[in-house]
Structure 1
């Protein structure tokens, strides 16, 4: 922008939207079958046939989505040591990092869609249900939509340094 030109909120939004990581993430995992495949992988489905039977998805669609997730680094393909004709699909660390995203969407669906499911996600060690996903401040306080605002990374880093020094 030329110096002295007034920048509107819409112009600022447009400029930042072009740099936003959200569209690329949605492109990779933002459709129904990708999320159902992720859910299957989190529930230890590993073979093509397990995903196909467990999801009721057409073979060509499943093949396409698995290939896209492998290419995107979400899942990996490895030969099955018990049967070299088969392939094991498993989550990569990048794929495992999607757990909060999948869980947040599930929880949102329970609150605003189909209602509570018959099964819940629990801590393996205690059997206690996990807490709802929420946005939290650095000190753990739950934040609502009105409590947050976007800021430049450099401004946020300065604020964090000041907060630690206080």
Structure 2
């Protein structure tokens, strides 16, 4: 997010810390990048010293789902059947989904490999074919997860 306020330009960058990099190592990488940017700009560009939540740096924990658990395997089975893609595997999404706010939650949405994703864009849209298959997948997921007793 680029903002201009009181004659100063601010740039907010939203990125995700990858699984396997602890917060200290990730912060060290950010420190190095910020120092290099400050040096290269002759001190004109610098990182805000504001506190997290007030415009300062915040590094959270990655949201990692158990891909062998019943939720992911159920949703993956639905996806494989509805899309006719038995070779499909779970994939990590790069965005910040609401799934991270709930224990053991996962993102299950209408983005399909090979298709142009326009979600959250000015021209946000979905093809009728993708809307149809997404609706069928969500309906099956709701039925399966809410009404079918778990296998014993």
- The normalised TM-score by structure 1 is 0.24
Whose relative contact order is higher, 1 or 2, with alpha carbons under 8 Å and at least 6 apart? Answer: 2
- The normalised TM-score by structure 2 is 0.26
The structure with more helix, counted as a fraction of residues: 1
